[in-house]
Amino acid sequence: MFIRMFFYKIKEISRNRTLLGWNLVFPLVLATAFFLGFGNMIKDDPDTFKTIEVGYVNTDEENSPFSQVLTSLSKKNDGIQVLEVHKFSDVEDAKTALDGDEVEGIYIEESGEVKTIVPANGLVSTTLNQIVREYENGKVVIENIAKDHPENMMNAIAKMEIIKSVLKEYDFGTNTSPYLQYYFALIAMSSLFSSWISTRMLEGMCANLSENGKRFECAPVYKLPSIVAGILAGVVLQSISNGIVAFYVEKVLGIDFGIPLLNVLAITTLGSTLGIAFGVLIGSLCKNKNLLVAIPLCFSMTCSFLSGLMWHQIRQFIEYHCPIINRINPAALLTDCLYVRATYGKTEVYYRDIFTMLIIIAACLIISAMFLRRRKYVSL
């Protein structure tokens, strides 16, 4: 019986053209408008790290420790490749490649020393010099330990590996364009639009809102399975809608979220559940049919504005002056969750946002259940 009600709710919601337009078509149109407006600023973000083309000349042994460092940096680590190494047999060939813009810098290893040649100061020169500096510091540490306390060599190497793992764990990862926050806020807005699904569902279940509600209230059956089936159907359809939007942005528009697509779908499913839960709460409290459209619209757009849909810096402004708003705003929580995951990875803030959204979902459904089970009418 529950499965039948679930599929009936799927059919009922999917045949509503208004919901289909606002929850699927409108986010796709807005995503396209964002792409036409500043899509190239995201794809060609000057702050995005790009693999450095570097030349390498080694007049000493072929398999030196520094050459092994360059080899490790030439491999992709979490999708990031720091260096693309071009080996040259002599210095003149390397300098010719540098003059011809084939490489952005040169490493010359001679007599155990590494020299860096770059045409100008900037991000490339800083990165290349820092690699040599870290290599030399580690080399000095290992040489001193080997000289003074050779018995501690293995322990020292193990500790250096631990330091590397700690740095890797808290690495900021790929840089995220500030314009990408508009797409995160767009997904948050689309998720909150699902509140219309649950308010429309409750409109057909409340006797004071529709004729269907009167028949539903008079039916000699349990109401809970039908309500739960409607909630699950709404979550499934909105999750599919959000998944289509995310797939369209990544695969069609070519905007990389910096997050595995499955992780994006999991987060947006949680956002869909959040929107549905708020819609159930609004529907259980509201007794005016006209307000069932106005309140979700005002609620969704206000939360979306405060999450950065119209101005991406407003979330940082609120965080500085009144952070509690960002802690209870569902759109800000979802936007922040996506942004933190893309920029910093699965940090404490990422899990805090997820946990807060789960608490809000549970609170909305519990309060809604209390109001729905206490409904009384003078007559039907």
Using alpha carbons, select from 261, 278, 380 the residue that is nearest to residue 328: 278
| Domains in the chain: ranges and CATH | 2-44+175-372 (no CATH), 52-169 (3.40.190)
Q: Which of 141-155, 176-190, 271-285, 365-379 has the lowest mean pLDDT?
A: 141-155
For residue range 29-65, list pLDDT tens digits in order.
999 998 888 776 666 555 556 788 888 888 766 677 7
pTM: 0.68
Mean pLDDT of 199-203: 83
pLDDT digits (tens, 9 = 90+) for 277-301: 999 999 888 877 778 888 888 999 9
CB 98 within 8 A of CB 125: no
* Predicted local distance difference test score (pLDDT) of residue 94: 85
User: What is the predicted pLDDT for the residue at 48?
Assistant: 58
> Comparing 68-77, 136-145, 200-209, 210-219, which segment has the lowest mean pLDDT?
210-219
Predicted local distance difference test score (pLDDT) of residue 167: 40
Task: Judge whether residue 376 has pLDDT over 70.
Answer: no
- For 281, 282, 284, the CA distances from 366, given in Å and listed in that order, are 9, 13, 11
Tokens coding 147? 């000289």
What pLDDT sits at residue 188?
A: 92
Residue 156: Cβ-neighbour burial (10 angstroms; 0-12, 13-18, 19+): middle
